[in-house]
Each structure stands twice: as C-alpha cells, then as structure tokens.
Amino acid sequence: MSGVRVEWTGLDAFLRDMHALPQDLQRDGFVIVREETEGAAAEIVQQYPRVTGALQRRVKTQFPSSTILIGLVLSSAPHSHLYEFGTKKRTNAAGANRGVMPAKAVTVPIARRRRARMSRRLVDLLRANGFEVGNA
C-alpha cells in the first residue's frame, strides 16, 4: 500500500491542516453515519406492513452527539416488539385462546447489514486519508 505524501510551507500551514484534518474526517464520518442510519430507517418503514400505519409512522432516527459518530433507529410503536419477536401462545383473562403471533424480524437484519456497510465505508474513509486500519 502506498503512503500519502503531503508538503507544507511553514508551521502555520502545517498547524492549519492538522487542525482541519480531524474536523474533515468527523464531518465526512457523520455524513456516512447519517446516510446509513436514515437508509436503515427507510428500509424498515418499507418492510413494515401498512395496516394502520403506526409501525411505519413511529420509526424515527436520532443522532445524540455532535462529537461521537452515533446514529440510532428507534420505534415508538408500543407493539413493534411483538411484530419483530412474536409471541408465544396467548390467552385473555377469561382463558380464551388468542393464538401465537409469529416473529417477522425486520429491524435486526437491516440494522446488521447497514452497520456492516457503515463500518466498511468509515474504514474506507480513514484509508483514503492515509490511515492504516488493521483487522477491518
């Protein structure tokens, strides 16, 4: 693998570039995290059934930090876990059978695939900026 060669004329230019490099990487990293997080949310919404639309409407994204590359996909639908993980045999208070809801995992497979893709893109970003990344 070839190295990156950069030349500076004067200490001011060197210091300016050194201070800018992490900001550039952070900005570009946030773009990747945002794209993959929003993409995962969009895929999840597409995969959820449209019965009442509650599952779809309540999928949201959050980016809780401006300094750490974190993106979250959340569902505020109170029944999303039932859809994702299913139920065992259910009965009501009178003992009447309400059956089993089969699991229809949507979120986990999409999240795993998007997280792996995001990691590859972040490693590529670092390598493109002259970093060596092992075991990626």
Is 2 inside a domain boundary? no
Residue 1, pLDDT above cutoff 60: no
Q: Which two tokens stand for residue 94?
A: 């009178």
- pLDDT, position 20: 64
Q: How many domains does the chain have?
A: 1
Is 5 inside a domain boundary? no
Q: Which two tokens stand for residue 43?
A: 């895929």
Instruction: Encode pLDDT of 47-58 as tens digits.
Output: 999 888 999 999
What domain range includes position 33? 11-128
Is 4 inside a domain boundary? no
- pLDDT, position 68: 79
Distance (Å, whole) CA 127 – CA 122 = 9
Of residues 14 and 25, which shows the higher confidence score?
Answer: 25
Instruction: Encode pLDDT of 94-132 as tens digits.
Output: 999 999 989 999 999 999 999 999 999 998 998 898 888
pLDDT band at 75 (very low <50, low <70, confident <90, very high): very high
Cβ neighbors of 103 (< 8 A, separation 6 or more) are 84, 85, 86
Is 84 inside a domain boundary? yes
